[in-house]
Structures are given as structure tokens and as C-alpha cells.
Amino acid sequence: MPSLESLTKEIESIGFRCTGCGECCRRCSEDSDLVMVSPAEVARIATAQSMRPDEIAEPYPESINLGNGTTLTFEWALKRNDDQCIFLEGNRCTIYPDRPWICRTYP
């Protein structure tokens, strides 16, 4: 397994610099519209934003429906509004200090 230091160097070698455009928080292509989050991240964001977890995330589209009103999922995704993250306003992340891990490590 690569070390954190080697991964950091590899990511930095890409040359990406955030321009604050917010495009990474919008749907760029058919397969890029979900921001996966863990239950712990949903709980942290819910607490920080004084929101209910169901206002923040929804089950990953591929889930198991037991047929008795119960749906099981192994993953969660941030909710979206008009193909963009619900926390994107004016090209800025309104939950930046509490943003999910995937947002912290992108690209």
C-alpha cells in the first residue's frame, strides 16, 4: 500500500489548482453526479447544519427493496438540487469546514 506521502506527491503532480468555479459540485457527466458519503459524515453534517439526515443524503440509487416498505442500502449520496450539490451556493461550498472526505480529497 502506498504511503500517504507518496499519494500526496502523486496528487500534487497532477497540477490541479482550485479556481473556485464550483464545477466539481455540479453534474459534469452521466457518471459524475453522486457524492458518496458515510453515515458518520451525514451525522456530522446534520449536526453542524442543524438538519435532519434525510434532508442531507439519500440512499444510493442501487438498493435492495424488501417489499414491506423497507429499503436497504450500503451507501449514501448527498442530495442534489438541479444537478448540483445542495450545499453549493454562489459557486461556494456552504459546508466547507464539514464537507465530506471525497470533497476534501478531490481531485
Other CB atoms within 10 Å distance of the CB of residue 25: 22
Question: Domain-by-domain residue ranges, the chain?
Answer: 23-105
For cell 423497507, name the residue: 70
**Per-residue pLDDT, 33:** 66
pLDDT greater than 80 at residue 18: no
What is the grid cell recorded at 61? 440509487
Q: Which of 15, 14, 95, 8 is nearest to 51 (CA)?
A: 95
**Residue 57, helix vs strand vs coil:** strand
Q: What tens digit of pLDDT does each residue of 50-76 get? A: 999 999 998 877 777 788 888 777 788
For cell 481531485, name the residue: 107
**Per-residue pLDDT, 45:** 96
